[in-house]
Chains A and B, each alone.
Chain A
Amino acid sequence: MDAERIYTIELHGLALGYPDRLLFEGADIGFGWGEFTALVGRNGTGKSTLLRTVAGLVRPLRGQILVNDRDLAELTAREVAELISFVSTDEVRVANLRVRDVVALGRAPYTNWIGRLNDDDRARVMRALELVGMSAFAAKGIDTLSDGERQRVMIARALAQDTPIILLDEPTAFLDLPNRYEICLLLRRLAHEEGKSIIFSTHDLSISLELCDTLAMIEGGRFCYGTAGQLIASGDIQQLFAGTSLEFDAVTRGARLREGVK
């Protein structure tokens, strides 16, 4: 990674967890502008908590988060909403709720007290639907869509919010393999062509290694960050499989059964 990267999100001595359980501490990294980053790690390592903390939903135990050089703790909810949009794991299946209305909710930080859309808002909603390839679904009910289609709509909602940073909590969970690739390719395209900084948590290690610019990894309370090549060379990726029946194969960049496992 070159020295001239512009950081959008910087973590300084960040410690996350609950009063009775520390997830990790001493996280000091910066996420680059316009980068497509995967956040990987075993279950319960704090991926989700990290995303929710950066999104302003959870307070860190210690440390500081800077977003575009401003301290997250000092920003109002409204100011955060103009910098960071978040795609959560909450399933949105409200009957009668139309796709374009869901995407239009992304304009909430900018609309008036009753949420009236002006021409600019409407144009942004249509463009967001176009970017995720869901224009044809604008008038459909969100509850009639497949999981993959619904995930695209939620990404369109984040795009309509018009933030430089998009965080996604396991956007590919529950999707089949082609859909996982499609969503990741879409996110990569949005990062590179729309200049969004996108960070998403995932368990799809091989897709992440293949498609992401950088990976952030939480393992054993430690925080690693780098390109796929760097993390493989440093042996950090291999740590993900420590103590399991699997090991990492640097040639295929995937997991395989450890020798001798029946």
Chain B
Amino acid sequence: MKRTPICFVFLAVLLAGLFAGDILLGSVGLSAGDIWRALAGRAAEGAEGELARSLVRSFRLPKAVVAVAAGAALSASGLQMQTLFRNPLAGPYVLGVSSGASLGVSLFLLGLPLLGASGATEAVRDLGTVGSAWVGAAAILIVVMAVSARIKDIMAVLILGMMFGSAATAFVDILQFLSPEGAVKSFVVWTMGSLGGVSADQLRILVPAVVAGLVLSVWLIKPLNLLLLGESYARTMGLRVKLVRGVIMLSTILLAGSVTAFCGPIGFIGIAVPHIARMLLGDADHRVLMPASMLLGAVVMLGCDIISQMPGSDMVLPINTISALLGIPVVVIVVVRNRKFF
């Protein structure tokens, strides 16, 4: 009976600890005191203090905030997808939503220079990137949802999602092949996924978009609980399924689309975190699973970021690599145990 509150306290403490750890650890060794002073705006005099201040305020703190936003966003979106499609292997990455967003971004980042329109300002570029990610994510989601309404076989939907994702990736490859080297390089860096590349201006788009998506996720808690029983049951209990599908779509576009736009495609968080939450809490109620997935997603993402820094070394691994290495075992466990979640 006491399991749920204990888990939430544990996750909250872990979140606070890892958030602090993510700011503390990095390739440049800074003491906790330096960081505290930098955050409080009382940085030490001289070049060293100035370095600490700019490092903490314009790099490490935003990066930790991005990690929390991205982790919560991808996990909430993954939970929605799994319940909506009644499929334990669904997630924004697997269903091709992230690939759709990537296609949108690549059309924008690579397509515009190809057309000769490269003189865009930074603000226009940011808005264009996130806007094209939303459109790309929406396009794939509409197709996958339309197909799943006609084909009831969940495996077929999953495979189609992967196919659409691969098709999107193929288009991206063609675009890369056609593009000049400079544009390709910045695009390739984007595809590797990075939490640290998000500027303060981009943060001002990312955070409100993710918060809006998370608010919709909370509104979706009761509808998702009804959808656990299947669409027929949900509708005969008065659920307006069309409206709910629309809200789920909007929420996933805001969550997975925005994160993909600024951090690149990050796999396995959306699919794995809801399962870890289920195993941890032993509950299927979204009133518990939704907040737990958000918290746990933020925790896992912060953990991934700390690992990717390789504390004490100058190397930084792509975040996508770490999230895959952490997420794949969870997916394997889910497949091997073959437990019916739906």
A56 touches B236 (CB 8 A): yes
- Residues A88 and B232 in contact in the complex (CB < 8 Å), given A77-B240, A81-B237, A161-B237: yes
Whether B236 contacts A93 by the Cβ 8 Å rule is no
Number of interface residues of A (CB under 8 A): 35
Bound-state CA distance A143–B339 (Å) is 10
A102 to B233 Cα, complex, angstroms: 11
A108 and B222 contacting across the interface, CB-CB below 8 Å: yes
Are B239 and A96 touching (Cβ within 8 A)?
no
Q: Is A47 an interface residue (CB 8 A)?
A: no
The answer for the CA separation of A82 and B229 in the assembled complex, in Å, is 18
- Please state if B340 and A90 are interface contacts (CB–CB under 8 Å): no
Per-residue CB contact flags for chain A residues 68-102 toward chain B (1 = under 8 Å, else 0) read 00000000111011101110101011111110011
Contact B238 A101 (CB under 8 A): no
Answer whether residue B235 sits at the interface, using C-beta atoms and an 8 A cutoff: yes
Minimum CB–CB distance from A228 to chain B (whole Å) comes to: 29
Number of interface residues, chain B, beta carbon within 8 A: 27
Query: Which residue in B233, B284, B287 is a CB contact (below 8 Å) of A115?
Result: B287
A60 to B278, CA, bound (A): 41
For A126-166 the 0/1 string (1 means CB < 8 A from B) is: 00000000000000000100000000000001000100000
Residue pair B237, A109 in contact (C-beta under 8 Å): yes
A114 close to B278 (CB less than 8 A): no
> Is B284's CB under 8 angstroms from A108's CB?
no
Residues of chain A within 8 A (CB-CB) of B232 are 52, 55, 57, 86, 88, 90
B171 contacts the other chain (CB 8 A): no
Say whether A32 faces chain B, with CB atoms less than 8 Å apart: no
The verdict on A94 contacting B342 (CB below 8 Å), with A102-B229, A115-B225 known, is yes
Is residue A171 contacting chain B, with contact meaning CB distance below 8 A? Answer: no
What is the chain B residue whose CB lies nearest that of A108?
Answer: B237
Kindly state whether residue B214 has any CB partner on chain A within 8 Å.
Answer: no
Q: Is the CB of A143 within 8 A of B222?
A: no
- Give the 6 A-B residue pairs with the shortest CB-CB distance, closest first: A81-B238, A90-B230, A97-B284, A86-B236, A88-B232, A78-B238
14 new A-B contacts, CB < 8 A, other than A86-B233, A96-B282, are: A77-B239, A80-B238, A81-B236, A90-B229, A94-B228, A94-B284, A97-B285, A105-B228, A108-B225, A108-B226, A108-B237, A113-B222, A115-B222, A143-B340
